[in-house]
């Protein structure tokens, strides 16, 4: 786990919070209860403060950049706590299945906007400023969808990794024993 995971998680949650604001302004029901949002905000602030404190203490972070540096155990625990609260508060948005579906939907949008941009570029007349503007907007939307897809993918992988870790803490030990047994069998043969 590193800073890229935290950045992706923050990106996805920020997009969803803005979506909540838009939904509320349109009079639609909220996906996350207000109390849960406030509790998640507090957890996020704690997580951010812990990670920043670790970054300030680490020379490796200063040399390698905060994004690529592995997190400290304290930071990892804060991320695990935040992700656990997030998936409990809104499994329809942050459960493994939901994140995977959202990621695939975003990937479909990337393809659709890319195809639309290509078609507009192919069929728009060279002198048409409207066709050029529409092409530019389609490719910009494809780019934004691609960035969102990448962040959703990274968040999905993080949530999946943490849920596997929480659901079966002995899984790693079991896998090590299985590999050890296989290695013993192959060395005997």
CB 75 within 8 A of CB 51: yes
Q: Which residues contact 109 (CB under 8 A, 6 or more apart)?
A: 141, 142, 145, 149
The token pair that represents 33 in the structure block = 């209860």
For the chain, the farthest-separated pair of C-alpha atoms sits apart, in whole angstroms, at 76
Specify which residues 2 forms β-bridges with: 70
Between CA 42 and CA 55 the distance in angstroms is 20
Helix (H, G, I), strand (E, B) or coil at 128: coil
pLDDT of residue 66: 55
**What pLDDT band is residue 70 in, cutting at 50, 70 and 90?**
confident
pLDDT of residue 33: 84
What are the boundaries of each domain within the chain? Answer: 1-94, 96-167
Does position 116 have pLDDT exceeding 90, yes or no?
yes
Between CA 135 and CA 156 the distance in angstroms is 31
Of 139, 140, 117, 38, the closest CA to residue 85 belongs to 38
Q: Which residues contact 113 (CB under 8 A, 6 or more apart)?
A: 138, 139, 141, 142, 145
pLDDT of residue 22: 92
Q: What is the pLDDT of residues 86-112, one digit of tens each?
A: 998 889 999 999 999 999 999 999 999
Distances (CA, A) of 18 to 24, 55, 100, 146: 10, 28, 20, 19
Q: What is the pLDDT of residues 124-171, one digit of tens each?
A: 776 777 888 899 999 999 999 999 999 999 999 999 998 887 666 555
């Amino acid at each position: 786990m590193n800073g890229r995971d935290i950045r992706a998680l923050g990106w996805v949650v920020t997009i969803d919070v803005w979506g909540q604001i838009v939904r509320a302004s349109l009079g639609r029901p909220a996906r996350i209860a207000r109390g849960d949002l406030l509790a998640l905000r507090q957890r996020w602030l704690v997580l951010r403060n812990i990670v920043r404190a670790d970054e300030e203490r680490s020379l490796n972070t200063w040399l390698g950049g905060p994004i690529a540096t592995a997190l400290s155990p304290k930071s990892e625990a804060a991320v695990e706590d935040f992700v656990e609260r997030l998936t409990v508060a809104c499994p329809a948005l942050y459960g493994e299945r939901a994140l995977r579906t959202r990621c695939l939907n975003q990937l479909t949008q990337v393809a659709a906007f890319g195809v639309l941009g290509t078609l507009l570029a192919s069929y728009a007349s060279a002198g048409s400023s409207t066709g050029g503007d529409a092409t530019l907007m389609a490719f910009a939307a494809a780019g934004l969808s691609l960035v969102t897809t990448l962040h959703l993918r990274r968040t999905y992988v993080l949530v999946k990794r943490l849920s596997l870790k929480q659901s079966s803490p002995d899984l790693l030990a079991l896998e090590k024993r299985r590999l050890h047994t296989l290695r013993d069998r192959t060395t005997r043969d």
